[in-house]
A and B are shown apart, each in its own frame.
Chain A
Amino acid sequence: MTQHSAWRGPALAAAFPLLALVAWHLATSGRAYSLIPPPYEVGLELWDLAFGGIYDDAFSETLQTHALASMSRAYGGFALAAAVALPLGMLIGRVEVIRTMLDPTLQLLRPVPVTAWLPLAMIVFGLGPRSAFFLVFLGAFYPVLINTIFGVRSVEPRLFEAAAMLGLSPSASFTKVVLPASLPSIFTGLRLGLGLSWVVIVVGEMTGVQTGLGAIIMEARQLSRTDIVICGMAVIGVLGFASDKLIMLLGQWLLRWSPQHG
Chain B
Amino acid sequence: MNRTSMVEPILDVKNVTKRFAFNNETVTALANANLRIEKGEFVCLIGPSGCGKSTLLRMVAGFETASEGDLLMWAKPVQGPGPDRGMVFQDYGLFPWLTVARNIGFGPAARGRPTREVRATEKRFVEMVGLTRFADAYPHQLSGGMKQRVAIARVLANEAEVVLMDEPFGALDAMTRERLQAELLEIWEAQKLTVLFVTHAIEEAIVLADRVVVMSPGPGRIVADERIDIPRPRDPTSPEFNALRRRLSSLLAGHH
Given A167-B110, A176-B110, A161 and B95 touching (CB < 8 A)?
A: no
State whether the Cβ of B225 lies closer than 8 Å to any Cβ in chain A: no
Chain A 243-262 interface 0/1 with B at a Cβ cutoff of 8 Å (1 = within): 00000000000001111001
Contact (A161, B63) CB under 8 Å given A166-B110, A166-B158, A167-B83 = yes
A161 touches B93 (CB 8 A): yes
CB distance from B56 to the nearest CB of A (A): 16
Known contacts A163-B106, A168-B107, A257-B98; 5 additional CB pairs below 8 A are A158-B93, A164-B62, A166-B107, A166-B158, A181-B97
Determine chain B's interface SS by DSSP, over half rule: loop
Given known A-B contacts A172-B110, A257-B138, A165 and B95 have beta carbons under 8 A apart: no
User: Measured between C-beta atoms, what is the minimum distance from A256 to chain B in Å?
Assistant: 8
How many residues belonging to A are interface residues under a CB distance threshold of 8 Å?
22
**Is A235 close to B, CB under 8 A?**
no
* Cβ < 8 Å to B, chain A residues 121-167: 158-159, 161-167
- For the complex, give the distance between the alpha carbons of A166 and B98 in Å: 15
A240 to B103, CA, bound (A): 38
Q: Which of B104-149 contact A (CB under 8 A)?
A: 106-107, 110-111, 138-140
Q: Which of A175-224 contact B (CB under 8 A)?
A: 176-177, 180-181, 183
Complex A-B: 12 CB contacts under 8 Å? A158-B93, A161-B61, A161-B81, A161-B89, A163-B110, A166-B83, A166-B158, A256-B138, A257-B138, A257-B140, A258-B140, A262-B138
Q: State in angstroms the CA–CA spacing of A228 and B235 once bound together.
A: 85
CB contact between B83 and one of A159, A165, A176 (< 8 Å): that residue: A165
List B contacts of A257 (CB < 8 A): 96-99, 138-140
Closest to B151 in A: A162
6 shortest interchain CB distances as A-B pairs: A167-B83, A166-B107, A168-B110, A162-B93, A164-B81, A180-B97
